[in-house]
Structure formats: C-alpha cells, structure tokens
Structure 1
Amino acid sequence: MSMPITTCYRHSDRSAGVSCQRCSRPICPSCMTQAAVGFQCPECVRSGRKNSPVMRLRDLNGGRAVVTETLIGLNVLALIACLATGGSLGGGGGSLSQKGFLLGYGVDYTQVAPNRIQVQELGVAVGQWYRIITGGFLHSGVIHLAMNMLLLYLIGSQLESLLGRVRYLSLYLACLVAGSFGVLLVSPTTPTVGASGAVFGLMGAAVIAQRRAGIDVWRNGIGGLVLINVLLTFATPGISKGAHIAGLVGGVAIGALVLALDRAVKLPWVGTMVCGAITITMVAGCIWAANSYASPILGF
C-alpha cells in the first residue's frame, strides 16, 4: 500500500497527518488546535472562525519526532546489514536475519563438510530471548520495509508529539512485544520478521487517542486505514496474522490505559512505567508460548 506524504503548510519539513477542518490546509501536530470537530490551523483559530472553544494539542517534543526518526533509521540500518551478510533487496534474508528473526523453536542444518552436517537449535525456547525484539527490526526486503516505515512515520510522529518521547518509546516497545507474543501463540516454528506488529499497535493507539479527542476516525481516514490493513492481513498469503492482530489489540488496550492514566493522574511517567510493566509481562508470555512450540497455543 502506498500513501503520499503531505507536508504542513507552515512547516515544510514536517509531515501533515490531518487537514484543517475550516480551510482544508494540511497541518502538523505543532499546528493542530482541537475544535469541536477535528482540528483547526493557527490562522483559522486567530480569525475566530469557530463555533466552540478550542484546546491546543500538546506538542511535547518541540516539533521533532526524534524517536520515530531513530526507529526508522534502525530499521533501515538493519536491512543494510542484512544485505551485507547475503540478503537481497527483494527478499531480505542473509546470515544476520537468521540470527535475529523471531522464532519460537527451530533447527538449522548446515553442511560444514562433505560428510558432516552441523545441527543447531534456534529460537526463544532455547534461550535466544533477544529474538522477541530483534525480529521487529528486520524485514523481508525493501518493499516490506518501506510500507512499514511509511506508516510508522505518519502515525508515530503524531503519537510522539502527543505522548512525549519516553512514553511514546515505551508504547512502541510494548506494541512490538505484543506482536511477537501473537506470533509465538499462533506460529512459533515459523521465522517471522517485520515492524508491522508495532505499527499495527500504534494505529490502534492512534484510534483511541483520536476518539478521546472527539475526532471521527472514519472521517479523518485512520479508521479506514486500520480496516484496510486488517483485511489485507487475512487476504494476503505470507502475512503474520498473529503479529498484526495481537499488535493492534495490544495497541488499543495499552493506548486506552495510558491515556486514561494521563487524565486521572496527569503524571507522564506513570504511563511509561505501566508500559514497561506490560512489556516485561508479555516477554514472559512470549517465553511461555515459545516453549509450547510442539503444540501452539492458538495454532491453526
């Protein structure tokens, strides 16, 4: 799926996720002012063309989505490293990918001599817990990477502005691990790569954030984007259903909890700690699911 990147009419170096409800000009998170319906740009707010009081959307980062940009950079660097170790632009792979893809349990057979085969156990079940995280930074080629990074840039930059860098990063990691948990519940013996579990989680959290702000998620497009991606998950062979659905459900649940805590206690670090606790709990769940590889919990 390809989506055009629109820039803010006031800041040409920033992406615009929504348009002003009054004049339809594209605006970035720094320029968004919440109105009764949707957002307005600074000019429309100043000119008084509004029917109800407005509330400024917080931008806790000074306009720069540093965490989102760093995550994208890490994913790009991971693909470059895979290419340098024998992978391809069209399919990813390479020795680095084999060392990092998500896998509950598997066995690698390598011929090291004419009459000698080396057998090596792989996966989370044999203590390679790092695969729960590293699999979310590897991709099966440049197209897979580009699709995920485009969605990460468009959605992640806005959530980062809303939540702040630390809390946003904790949400991202929690969604990533939720996606890994889904994979290990459904198909623990299938090597899996991609940031889509985390990205689906961010989409879910974005839906919750916008609904809480009184925005019609079907009118502004995020609802349709989620629906299309869910349909593609079940219609396209080779896509990890466990990662996508678990990431989405995790993002909705964690996003709702973080935003509820934000309203209740107004201490951002509380949401960060909750995301951290959820991440640790799901890592334990990943290890449990991986050790059930012989009879997957939700295998079908």
Structure 2
Amino acid sequence: MPTCYRHPDKETWVRCQRCDRPICPDCMRDAAVGFQCPECVAEGNRGVRQAKSTFGGSVVRTPFVTYTILVINVLVFGAQYLAGNEVTGELAMWPAGVAVLDQYYRLITAAFVHGGVFHILFNCWALYVVGPYLERAFGHVRYVALYLISALGGSVLGLWLDPLNQPTVGASGAIFGLFGAVFVVGRKLNMDVRGIAVLIAINLVITFVVSGISWTGHIGGLITGSLLAGAIAYAPKNNKTLWQVLAITGALALLAVLVVVRASAILAAV
C-alpha cells in the first residue's frame, strides 16, 4: 500500500492531482478537482497575481494606520493635559530649538501635539473622514509616508519663515497635505473634486483671517502633500513602485536639504 510522501508512516490511496504523489489527510488541500499536496498549492499561489490598491499598495481592509495616528494624537493630548506645558514645550515645533539645539525631532513630533480641545477635535475629525479613503487608495506604507512628509513639509516652511522663538503645534500641516492628496486623487480618477476644493478654500481663508493659526504649517503641508500625492498617483505604469519610492525618498531628501540650509543660516546669524 502506498504511503504519504511527507508522512511515510501513513498509508493512503489518495494522490495529488498535479504531481501524482500520494498524500495523507493531513497533507490534502482542496482543489477544483480532487486534492493537491502543500507544495503544489504553494507553487500555484506564486503564480497568482496579488491584488493591489488603486495606486499600487497592498489592499487595505482596515485602515489601521489612520486609527493608530488618531490614538497617538489622543494619548499625547492626554499627556499634555496631565503634565501641562512640559509635554507641549518638549514636542512643539520651535525654529530655534531645531537649529540651535539640534532638536530635529520637533519637525515631526509637533504634528502630534495640539493647542486645545477644538484644535485636536477638528484635526482628528478631518483625519477620520479623509484618512481611511486615502489609506485604501495608496496602501499603508505610501499613506503613512504621505502623512508624515506632509507634516514635515509644514514644519520646514515654518523653520524658514516663522520667528525663531515662535512655537507651533498641531497635525494641521499633515491634514492639509491629506486634503491636497484627496484633490489630486479625485482629479486622477476623474471624480468631482468641487467639494474638497471648497473645503480647502474655506480652510485657507480661516488660516489667514483668524489670528494664532500657523499659516506656514498649513501651506507647507498642502504643497508638500499635493506634490507627493501627484507623484505617487501619476507614477508611470512601468516600474510604478520604483518611481513612487524615488518620489518619496526624493521628497525626504529635498526637505532634509532645506532643513540643513536653514539651520546653518540661523546658526551663522546667532
């Protein structure tokens, strides 16, 4: 009596429909006709094209990156509430702190700190509304890159144009970057973008009319997010992933150069 090719101690009369090797019940895998062995199933799966998101990332069923960012925002705000100005002062964007004290982390951490209840409520609401849509369109990795680089873009413009001792906080730069990305994606997919265009226009008006709002963070994030989203969405079909990686690394490199140049200029003037 034949025995299983993987378990010689088990007798069987069943054979793999592809390779014809005898397989025991532990090794049987359902096939369109009969059963197949684990190796043949694995080999067949390698030839199956994996599903991709709209712009090349892995298919997203649950937008856990968006949810993770929301949780971090809430946790940091809770720490601000409990510790007072200590957490805010340690994490806020502050040009002098970046350039003079070499606290470059502020360029990113400022995006997770907020100036009040209304501030965090609006940013978290906006993230909850547009984040999952973009995460499903771009995939987890491209989306988190878009978010963080948009936040970085807002901080970099603040580093160049804000007073040296002016602190700024908030995820608004990243949120404006996401707004710009929604507009770009909508144009790429031939969707009606009037709604997001109006939303961007209203928020820009508020940015320049209401005092105490960091216009540099908003504009820097909007420009950075829009350009990066365009580079990802309009990447050539041939070697799309390579072009998208180059766009992301290129954006990071450009922003890093701008930070170094501005920090050097500030140090030279101090």
Fold equivalence (TM over 0.5): yes
Task: Point out the structure with the larger strand share.
Answer: 1
Aligned position for 2:108:
133
Aligned position for 1:80:
78
**Which of 226, 238, 245 is the equivalent residue of 1:252?**
226
Distance 1:65 1:186 in 2: 35
User: Structure 1 residue 290: deviation in Å?
Assistant: 3.9
Distance 1:195 1:275 in 2: 20
Would the alpha carbon gap of residues 273 and 80 (structure 1) be closer, same or farther in structure 2, given more than 3 Å must change?
farther
Q: Is 1:211 matched up with 2:187?
A: yes
Alignment of 1:162-201 (within 5 A): 162-189=137-164, 190-201=166-177
Of 67-76 and 180-189, more deviation after overlay is shown by: 180-189
Q: Is 1:96 matched up with 2:87?
A: yes
Q: Identity of counterpart residues, as a percentage?
A: 31
Would the alpha carbon gap of residues 124 and 149 (structure 1) be closer, same or farther in structure 2, given more than 3 Å must change?
farther
Distance 1:187 1:176 in 2: 16
Q: Is 1:67 matched up with 2:65?
A: yes
Task: Point out the structure with the larger helix share.
Answer: 2
Distance 2:114 2:123 in 1: 9
Select the structure of larger CA radius of gyration.
Answer: 2
**Which of 128, 135, 145 is the equivalent residue of 1:160?**
135
**Which of 238, 246, 253 is the equivalent residue of 1:265?**
238
Aligned position for 1:274:
247
Assess if the C-alpha contact under 8 Å between 2:60 and 2:139 holds in 1.
no
Instruction: Name the aligned partner's letter for residue 183 of structure 1.
Output: G
How does the TM-score come out when normalised to structure 1? 0.66
Distance 2:238 2:170 in 1: 35
**Which of 221, 237, 245 is the equivalent residue of 2:211?**
237
Assess if the C-alpha contact under 8 Å between 1:177 and 1:283 holds in 2.
no
Listed as ranges, the gaps of 5+ residues in structure 1 are: 1-55, 87-93, 106-121
How does the TM-score come out when normalised to structure 2? 0.73
Assess if the C-alpha contact under 8 Å between 2:154 and 2:173 holds in 1.
yes
Would the alpha carbon gap of residues 192 and 61 (structure 1) be closer, same or farther in structure 2, given more than 3 Å must change?
same
Instruction: Name the aligned partner's letter for residue 65 of structure 1.
Output: P
Distance 1:73 1:272 in 2: 27
Listed as ranges, the gaps of 5+ residues in structure 2 are: 1-51
Distance 1:170 1:249 in 2: 15
Distance 1:267 1:124 in 2: 36
Aligned position for 1:5:
none
Per-residue Cα deviation, 1:89-145 (whole angstroms, up to 9, x for no partner): xxxxx201111110111xxxxxxxxxxxxxxxx333321111111111100012101
Aligned CA RMSD, in angstroms, stands at 2.3
Distance 2:207 2:267 in 1: 25
Counterpart secondary structure, 2:151: helix
